[in-house]
Amino acid sequence: IAKLQEYYDVTVVTQNIDHLHEKAGSTNVVHLHGSVFEKRSSLGDHHIQEELGDITLGDLAPDGSQYRPNIVWFGEPVPMIERAAHITSTAEIFLVVGTSLVVYPAASLLNFVNHSVPKYIVDPKIPEVGFLPGLYKVEAGASEGMKKVFDLLT
């Protein structure tokens, strides 16, 4: 995915919380579910700070609340979903890589892609998505499948 930046303006929207895309060289990454390398107030998504170590009981944010990882836990809203929906709706090419498309609201992003936009799904087991115009299915793991997509797009 990072190598596509040499040819395209790439924005990665990911559910990963571990910065693997950045480690691979991607420079424009939207983390839907936050970052495990940040901490924030347990009262809300404020007082966000970098955190490379462990958070321990008694580590308090400036508002007096316990710090917690800056990640979305099950049942919590996904604050970046509106930004991701906007990015998706304006995409000129759309890739879905390595997901079952069963985790919502992220799985719904495919519905925001313009019908005229080419869409590529890369996964060892292509999830059921119904009819989507301009859909290309690459049934392979992420590494192998992205090599195929890269060759198609460059």
Catalytic amino acids?
Answer: 33
Report the 3 state secondary structure along 2-29.
HHHHHCCCCCEEECCCCCHHHHHCCCCE
- What's the Cα-to-Cα distance from 57 to each of 54, 60, 61, 65, rounded to whole Å? 10, 8, 12, 10
Between the alpha carbon of residue 80 and those of residues 33, 108, 109, the distances in Å are 8, 13, 12
Cα 107 to the chain's mean position, in Å?
10
User: How crowded is residue 16: how many other Cβ atoms within 10 Å of its Cβ?
Assistant: 16
Nearest to 26 by CA among 14, 37, 15, 34: 14
